[in-house]
Chains A and B, each alone.
Chain A
Amino acid sequence: MEQYFLIIFIFAIAALLGFELITKVPPTLHTPLMSGSNAISGITIVGAIMASTGDGFLIQAVAFLAVTLAMINVVGGYTVTDRMLGSFKKKEKK
């Protein structure tokens, strides 16, 4: 249990930070914010990369799937968020 103390601690602190980070968000930004944080949850790509350190066909197959799906989440998420935000920026300049 002790080995996990530190990691549980940072889990709790990070969650608190997440709660505090978002207070007032203009409705216009709800969708981009959701999309942007969706892209961030693709951080699991780090775990997917680590998965490929295992041996055996099955593990490698799972790792490949995990990396592919996480990359779809990361690349797709950021690109679509940029698109949404881009359409706002264009308008404001005019």
Chain B
Amino acid sequence: MIYLYLLATLFFVFGIKRLTHVRTCASGNRLSEIGMAIAIVTTLIIFSDQVNWAVLVAGIVVGSGIGLVLAKRTPTTQMPELVAALNGFGGIASALVAMAEVLKGVAANDALPAGAAARSIADAGPVGAVATLAAILIGMVTLTGSFVAYGKLSGKKLSHPLEGSARHGLHLLLGLGAIALGAWMCFSTGGATTAAMLLLAALAAVLGVFLVMPIGGADMPVVVSLLNSYSGVAAAFAGFVIDNPLLVVVGSLVGASGLILTQIMCKAMNRSLGNVLLGGMGEESVAEDARDYTNIKSAGPEEVAMLLDGVSSVIFVPGYGLAVAQAQHVVKELADLLIARGCEVRYAIHPVAGRMPGHMNVLLAESDVPYDQLWEMERINGEFKNTDVVIVVGANDVVNPAARESSGPIAGMPILDVDQARTVVVVKRSLSPGYAGIKNPLFELDNTLMVFSDAKAALEGMVKELKDL
């Protein structure tokens, strides 16, 4: 049976490997699905005469049902949120696995004959005790942290009640409190163990909320990726607790690869992980200031439509604003209209446009934008100077020429050189800064037109005006 676990692990390893290449990614996910099926069936077979089948079947049916409905019903725009939520469920499941093991220990003590010494968790050795504490702590932090991330991704403003050193003090206090409760749980017996365990779980849940709260909404992809890594680590610790090698191997595999992916994402955004976690440049710290700008030319959809009449090349630059406004279908409609008029249409995809890297590709694929119209940054940057009109839809920092300066928060970040186009149309709700919290000189250029509106409304307006021309 242990060989089947080994087989499942191999499927996971090659599954992850294949997921990192475009051509093999679909089969990679299939491999990892097979691995999971092997793992579940093997476990059911090994423990078939000990498990409570009624509970298992009920849990599997209910869980699969909810999972399927969530995954099928969620619109593409909200996929990042969904991944965050699913990750939270995985985290608490690992915490519950460790908690069930603690409860089993308590029950075993209760069943002892009178006079026999009750064994605490610590009696079983330090590794088990630390793993139990860690699985519950990390699992619960993953749960609530993921749900705060979920809230922020769906646009809710959740800000931390405290600032500066008071905030770090609170986190430190909660962390130390959790460890103290964990120690109490490990060294006590009977009802005290159960009570300490529940308090530990509750405290860890509160800690998870406060840890993610101060981080800006634009950094949520990194946070979700990090929490994904955490849920792997929680699973690995749960594996230590129940002495299951499969959980340990696969959990630490996901934990480590998740950490690397997090780092890759940070690099693409030109941020350090520490910077993200401390929330140094989070959106909450940003003061909106439209007065900083001079030489702003604003235009309505009808003016843009007139501009678009008769041009021969247009490049769309989609950003998070497009996802928020769910404007991916309208942008396609406008593009089709332009193509019908003989205009060349392309989309410039910045590596970190949107709420998650690759977010724009998923979104535009959903509205049937042909793959060959999506151009990656390196390929399209030389094309802007020969382009009549660039329409920036809800993107900001990825087109900010300030990145070319030698200093500043986003210095050195690769950007799309949209300012080289003959005319740049920026569709944006206001002059408020993006996640980097800095001014965008692009908006002040002579060849830039600002359309202050929700992306969907603005594009719908352009479609309508263009049809009427």
A contacts, CB < 8 Å to B: 1, 3-4, 7-8, 10-12, 14-19, 21-56, 58-60, 62-92, 94
Task: Say how far B425's CB is from chain A's closest CB, in angstroms.
Answer: 25
Q: Are B87 and A38 in contact (CB under 8 A)?
A: yes
Most-contacted residue by chain A among B36, B58, B76, B128 (CB, 10 A): B36
- Measured between beta carbons, the chain A residues less than 8 angstroms from B128 are 4
Return the 8 tightest CB-CB contacts between A and B, nearest first. A71-B63, A18-B256, A67-B59, A75-B67, A76-B67, A79-B71, A91-B371, A30-B357
- Measured between beta carbons, the chain A residues less than 8 angstroms from B19 are 29, 32-33, 36-37
- Measured between beta carbons, the chain A residues less than 8 angstroms from B87 are 38, 41, 73
Assess whether B362 is interfacial by the CB under 8 Å rule.
yes
Assess whether B103 is interfacial by the CB under 8 Å rule.
yes
B contacts, CB < 8 Å to A: 12-13, 15-17, 19-22, 25-26, 28-29, 32-33, 35-36, 39-40, 43-44, 47, 50-52, 55-56, 58-60, 62-64, 66-68, 70-72, 74, 76, 79-80, 82-83, 86-87, 89-90, 92-94, 96-97, 99-101, 103-104, 107, 125-128, 221, 224-225, 228, 231-232, 234-236, 238-261, 264-265, 268, 351-352, 356-359, 361-362, 365-366, 369-371
Known: A11-B252, A28-B358, A30-B265. A68 touches B13 (CB 8 A): no
Picked from B240, B245, B356, the residue with its CB within 8 Å of the CB of A34 is B356
With CB as the reference atom, state the residue of chain A lying closest to B362. A84
Q: Are A37 and B371 in contact (CB under 8 A)?
A: no
Query: 11 extra interchain contacts, Cβ-Cβ under 8 A, other than A37-B254, A37-B257?
Result: A4-B128, A15-B256, A21-B13, A36-B16, A47-B93, A47-B247, A50-B97, A67-B59, A75-B71, A87-B366, A94-B370
Picked from A18, A40, A52, A62, the residue with its CB within 8 Å of the CB of B103 is A62
- Measured between beta carbons, the chain B residues less than 8 angstroms from A64 are 55, 58-59
Q: Are B56 and A67 in contact (CB under 8 A)?
A: yes
Query: How many angstroms from the CA of A61 to the CA of B86 in the assembled complex?
Result: 21
Query: How many angstroms from the CA of A44 to the CA of B93 in the assembled complex?
Result: 7
With CB as the reference atom, state the residue of chain A lying closest to B355. A31
Task: Say how far B456's CB is from chain A's closest CB, in angstroms.
Answer: 20
Query: How many angstroms from the CA of A36 to the CA of B100 in the assembled complex?
Result: 27
Query: How many angstroms from the CA of A17 to the CA of B268 in the assembled complex?
Result: 23
Picked from B67, B239, B247, the residue with its CB within 8 Å of the CB of A79 is B67
Query: How many angstroms from the CA of A70 to the CA of B90 in the assembled complex?
Result: 5
Query: How many angstroms from the CA of A83 to the CA of B47 in the assembled complex?
Result: 33
- Measured between beta carbons, the chain B residues less than 8 angstroms from A62 are 96, 99-100, 103
- A-B pairs with beta carbons under 8 Å apart, 12 shown: A1-B125, A34-B83, A34-B224, A37-B261, A51-B242, A52-B59, A63-B55, A63-B96, A69-B89, A71-B59, A71-B60, A77-B71
